[in-house]
Amino acid sequence: MKVGTRHYRTIWLAEDGRTVRIIDQTRLPHDFVLADLTTMDQAATAIADMWVRGAPLIGATAGYGMALQMAEDPSDAGLARGHAVLLATRPTAVNLRWALDDMRRLLAPLPPSDRTAAAYARAAEICDEDVEINRRIGTHGLALIEAIAARKPGPVNILTHCNAGWLATVDWGTATAPIYLAAAKGIPLHVWVDETRPRNQGAHLTAWEMDSHAIPHHLIVDNAGGHLMQHGQVDMVIVGTDRTTAQGDVCNKIGTYLKALAAHDNGVPFYVALPSPTIDWTVRDGVAEIPIEERSADEVSFVQGKLADGTRTRLRISPEGTPAANPAFDVTPARLVTGLITERGIAPASAQGLAALFPDLAP
């Protein structure tokens, strides 16, 4: 998508045909800084330290991480080490394991001398596939926005939580793809951006994306969405997901469930945009079965941002003696989800709905 007047993806191959270039997302929204990855270990650090984040982009970075590893050490031992180190970077991302297993399946049967070229080619393909999946999600979601625009005057008000934007993918984003396509078609839009504590990905990343594309938006605290819905100021909610179960339960950034409850209580349609690789067909009941990552208490006790003089730093907001708890995700039961926007179309959030759209994948 656009940064200034230039088109960027979130990950690409540099001119030397070996170095992998990314946007260091920890520096956004205040600085737009690129970073070069020249080794597998650097790719692992980029994932673990969240220079890149978002399930699809993590998968793509893992793919390129394996390519970097093959360029360093294409032996069987090198392949095993790359898979192990990259897999250990983030505990929950389904796409991470998917991409690593995919690369290993491709590379293992090849002679080491052929592995590097094959790995780079497949990593590029994973990126292109992600872009195409998101473009299709956008097309299906666009139809929902057009339908709302057709029946009401003024802008279509869309609320989103966290960042399921192009920064979370290779391009387009999942939840944002319909928004970008609608904006390109000239449909009047306005986006409510949840700041999304504790890491504030909404304030840091989604707001930056909307600002970069001149899409009218307002930042709001995570507490505000219910009030806005009570007063007719939200026409639809679109969020992303880190993992979706076979019966349509949605595991996403903490707080998504509260917004889904408010949408349900006020008759506001609540959509989840997802590429099919984030469906975990082995899990049915998300609340009971999905383990939730408990992250560092510091993310709650401190807030990151920029001082008036431009310095990036963090502030403590609570007493030193106060401990914090930090569950990073929650599960929204399928009963609260209006529909799942996938690359193949919109599925009802149910086992039957998903099976009908993905008969080749459903158990």
Active site residues: 242
The least distance separating a second copy from the CB of residue 356, rounded to whole angstroms, comes to 28
Question: Which CB sits closer to a second copy, 30 or 284?
Answer: 30
**Which residue is it, tokens 């802008």?**
155
- Residues 195-254 interacting with a second copy (rule: CB under 8 A): 195-198, 200, 203-204, 207-208, 210-211, 217-228, 230-231, 253-254
Element (H, E) at 271: strand 270-273
The least distance separating a second copy from the CB of residue 78, rounded to whole angstroms, comes to 40
Question: Which CB sits closer to a second copy, 68 or 336?
Answer: 336
Question: Which CB sits closer to a second copy, 44 or 203?
Answer: 203
CB neighbourhood size of 335 (10 A)? 11
Choose one: 33-41, 135-143, 151-159, 300-308; the region binding a second copy (CB under 8 A).
300-308
Q: Does 155 bind a second copy (CB under 8 A)?
A: no
Whether the CB-CB separation of 88 and 80 falls below 8 Å is answered with no
* Alpha-helical regions (H) of 221-317: 225-230, 256-265, 286-289, 298-301
Q: Does 124 bind a second copy (CB under 8 A)?
A: no
- Residues 327-346 interacting with a second copy (rule: CB under 8 A): 327, 329-331
Q: Which of 161, 166, 94 is nearest to 137 (CA)?
A: 166
Whether the CB-CB separation of 94 and 280 falls below 8 Å is answered with yes
Rounded to an integer, what distance in angstroms lies between the CA atom of residue 72 and that of residue 69?
5
**HSE of 12, CA atoms in CB hemisphere, 13 A:** 11
Q: Which of 222, 218, 253 is nearest to 331 (CA)?
A: 253
**Which residue is it, tokens 């099919």?**
276
The least distance separating a second copy from the CB of residue 95, rounded to whole angstroms, comes to 22
Q: How far is CA 12 from the centre of its chain?
A: 17
Q: Does 138 bind a second copy (CB under 8 A)?
A: no
Question: Which CB sits closer to a second copy, 106 or 261?
Answer: 261
Select from 166, 257, 270, 271 the one that contacts a second copy (CB under 8 A): 257
List residues near a second copy by CB under 8 A. Answer: 29-30, 192-193, 195-198, 200, 203-204, 207-208, 210-211, 217-228, 230-231, 253-255, 257-259, 261-262, 265, 287, 292, 300-308, 313-319, 321-327, 329-331
